[in-house]
Chains A and B, each alone.
Chain A
C-alpha cells in the first residue's frame, strides 16, 4: 500500500484538529466496526464557514482526508461546501489506494452531516428539505457497508 507524499504530509501534520466548543454544527459518521470514526465541527457566520475542526479515529487515509477537507471548506459558503465531492478530496491529495477510497466518502459525508446539523439547529428548513439539500445517505461507510 502506497500513500502519496501529500497524504503522508497531512497525516503527520494534520490541519484543524480538535473541537469547537460552541459549534454551529457537528457531524459524526463512520462505524467502529470498520475502524474509522470522523467528527466534524463547523462554526457558521453569515452563511460562511468561518472555522472548522475535526477529530478522527482511523487510518492514515481517514486522517489525511479529514485534514484536507477542512482546509477545502474553510471560508466557503454552506452551498459551496456542500458541493465538495469525495473525488475533489482524493484529487487534491494526489490520489488514494483503491481500498482506501471509502475514507474520502466519509469526509464528504461528515461535512454534509455537520451542515445538516447546523440547519436543524437553525430551524428554518424541514427535515425533508435538509435531507435533500445536504444529500444525506442512510449507509455511511461504503467501504465496509456499515
Chain B
C-alpha cells in the first residue's frame, strides 16, 4: 500500500541533499569541534558556516545564533533565560492561550517560581487580540512570547504589530517560530524580534537540532551548565551532523520558498475545496488568509477524531488530530477550545 504523508506539520522527511551534506560528519569527519588539530578545526568551520546560513535566513548577525537540540529547548532557554535575567526589573510575562506546550508549560513553571503570566485570548481565527495585549502591559512586564504561526491551525500572528508594541513599551519579544521558519520569510530586524526559536525537522532537516536567535544585548541565563560551547550559553559537544543538516535545510528552504509555497498552497486549497464539496457538517479552523501554506485543520461533526485517524491509517494516509506533543493526552485541543470560546 502506498503511504500518503499529510502530516508535515508534525515533521518533514529529511531531504536527500540534506542527508548528503550530513554524511561526512557522521563518518570520516568525526573530530571534536573544540580540538585544535585539523580534524577538529574542520568541524568548527562547518558549525560556523551553518551559523552564517541561519543568520542570513533570519537577517541577523552570526553571533546572535545559538544551536540547541530543537524547538522545545530553544523555547525553554529563551523564556526562562530572559525572564530570570531581568527578574530585578519585573516578573510579568505575556503569552497567548494557543502556544505550543513548550511555551505554555515553561510559563506555568515560571508561575510556580513567582512570576506572573497573562495568557492572551484569540479571536475565532486564532489571532491574538492586540487591544488586549496593549491593555495588559504593566511596568513589571519584561517579556512577550507569542508564536509566529500556530502549529495546529496554521494561523500566522500579527508579529510586526506585536514587535512594535513590545519595542514601544521597552519589553523583550520572543517568538516561537518553529512552525513558520521555512514557510514564511522572516526578518528579525524589520519585525523587532528579540528572540526566536526554530527547529530543523520542520523544514526537511534532521530531528534533534534547532536554533535560538537572541538579539545582541539581550541577556539570558545559560540553559545547560558545563563547557564553553555556544559562547558559554549551551554546554556540550556540538551535534555537528545535525547542525550541518540544519544549515543545508534552511538554505534550501529559502532558496525555493515562493515556488514551494505556491505548490503546497495549491494542493492544500484543492483538498479543502474537495472536502467542503463532498463532506457535510465540517468546520474549517484557522484564518483563511493569514495562514501557513501547508496547513489545513478541519473539524468533522459527529466523527470521533481518533477513529478517523485510525481509518485513514488503514488506507495508508498519515494525518493528525492535534499536536504530536499532546497526543499522550485525552483532552481536547487547547487551540480549538481557545478559538471556539470566542464564537
Q: Which residues of B contact A (CB under 8 A)?
A: 304-307, 310, 314, 327-330
Q: Does A75 contact B (CB under 8 A)?
A: no
Report whether B330 and A60 are in contact in the complex, using a CB–CB cutoff of 8 Å. Answer: no
Known: A58-B304, A59-B304. A35 touches B310 (CB 8 A): no
Q: Which residues of B contact A60 (CB under 8 A)?
A: 306-307, 310
B330 and A99 within 8 A (CB): yes
A12-B314, A59-B304, A60-B307 as given contacts; A35 in contact with B327, CB under 8 Å: no
Contacts of A11 in B (CB 8 A): 307, 310
Give every chain B residue within 8 A of A35 (Cβ-Cβ).
304, 330
Task: Decide: B314 and A1 in contact? CB cutoff 8 A.
Answer: no
A44 to chain B, nearest CB (A): 30
Closest-by-CB residue of A relative to B313 is A8
List residues 104-132 of chain A with CB under 8 A from any CB of chain B.
Answer: none
List, in ascending order, chain B residues with CB within 8 A of A34's CB.
330
Q: How far is the CA of A143 from the CA of B328 in the complex (A)?
A: 13
Evaluate whether A143 and B330 lie within 8 angstroms (CB atoms) in the complex, with A57-B304, A58-B304 already known: yes
Q: Bound complex: CA of A11 vs CA of B304, how far in Å?
A: 13
Any chain B CB within 8 A of the CB of A73? no
Q: How far is the CA of A35 from the CA of B308 in the complex (A)?
A: 13
Q: Using C-beta atoms within 8 Å of the partner chain, give the interface range for chain A.
A: 10 to 19
- Can you give 18 A-B contacts (C-beta < 8 A)? A1-B327, A1-B328, A3-B310, A11-B307, A11-B310, A12-B310, A12-B314, A34-B330, A57-B304, A58-B304, A58-B307, A59-B304, A59-B306, A59-B307, A60-B306, A60-B307, A63-B307, A143-B330
What B residues does A59 contact at CB under 8 A?
304-307
A144 within 8 A of B: yes
Residue pair B330, A144 in contact (C-beta under 8 Å)? yes
Assembly CA distance A29 to B23 (angstroms): 56
Q: Looking across the interface, which residue of chain B has its beta carbon closest to that of A61?
A: B306
- Nearest-neighbour CB distance to chain B for A65, whole angstroms, equals 14
Instruction: Tell me, rounded to whole Å, the shortest Cβ–Cβ distance linking A17 to chain B.
Output: 13
Which A-B residue pairs are the 8 nearest by beta carbons? A59-B306, A60-B310, A60-B306, A99-B330, A58-B304, A59-B304, A11-B310, A57-B304
Interfacial residues, chain A to chain B (CB-CB below 8 A): 1, 3, 8, 11-12, 34-35, 57-60, 63, 99, 143-144
Distance in angstroms from B334 CB to nearest chain A CB is 15
> Which residue of the partner chain B has the closest CB to A7?
B310
Cα A57 to Cα B314 with chains together (Å): 19
The minimal Cβ–Cβ distance linking A109 to chain B, given in whole angstroms, is: 18
Docked CA distance A63–B311 (Å): 13
Query: In whole angstroms, what is the CA distance A83 to B327 when docked?
Result: 33
Residue with the highest number of chain B CB atoms closer than 10 Å, among A57, A60, A63, A99: A60
- For residue B305, which residues in chain A have a CB less than 8 angstroms away from its CB? 59
Contacts of B327 in A (CB 8 A): 1
With both chains docked as a complex, state the minimum distance between the C-beta of B319 and any C-beta of chain A, in angstroms.
14
Assembly CA distance A143 to B331 (angstroms): 11
In the bound complex, how far is the Cα of B308 from the Cα of A60, in angstroms? 9
Q: Which residues of A contact B306 (CB under 8 A)?
A: 59-60
Closest to B328 in A: A99
User: Across the interface, which residues of A come within 8 angstroms of B329, CB to CB?
Assistant: 99
How many angstroms from the CA of A62 to the CA of B314 in the assembled complex? 18
Contacts of B330 in A (CB 8 A): 34-35, 99, 143-144
Complex CA distance for A125 and B16, rounded to whole angstroms: 72
In Å, the complex CA distance between A60 and B307 comes to: 6
Q: Please, how many angstroms separate the alpha-carbon atoms of A57 and B329 in the complex?
A: 18
Residues of A within 8 Å of B307, CB to CB, are: 11, 58-60, 63
Instruction: Find the B residue at minimum CB distance from A143.
Output: B330
Query: Which residue in chain B gives the minimum CB-CB distance to A60?
Result: B310
Q: Chain B contacts of A144 at CB under 8 A?
A: 330
Query: Closest Cβ of chain B: how far from A75's Cβ, in Å?
Result: 29
CB distance from B340 to the nearest CB of A (A): 14
In chain B, what residue has the closest Cβ to A63? Answer: B307
User: CA–CA, A144 to B329, complex, Å?
Assistant: 11
For B305, B314, B329, B330, the residue with the greatest tally of chain A CB atoms inside 10 Å of its CB is B330
Task: Looking at the assembled complex, report how far the CB atom of A20 sits from the nearest CB atom of chain B, in whole angstroms.
Answer: 23
What residues of chain B lie closer than 8 Å to A143, measured between beta carbons? 330
Chain A residues near B328 (CB-CB < 8 A) = 1, 99
Q: A84–B304 Cα gap in the complex (Å)?
A: 27
Taking A35-B304, A57-B304 as given, write out 5 further A-B residue pairs in contact, using a Cβ cutoff of 8 Å, ordered by the A residue number.
Answer: A12-B310, A35-B330, A59-B304, A59-B305, A60-B310
> What residue in chain B is nearest A33 (Cβ atoms)?
B332
Q: How far is the CA of A58 from the CA of B307 in the complex (A)?
A: 7
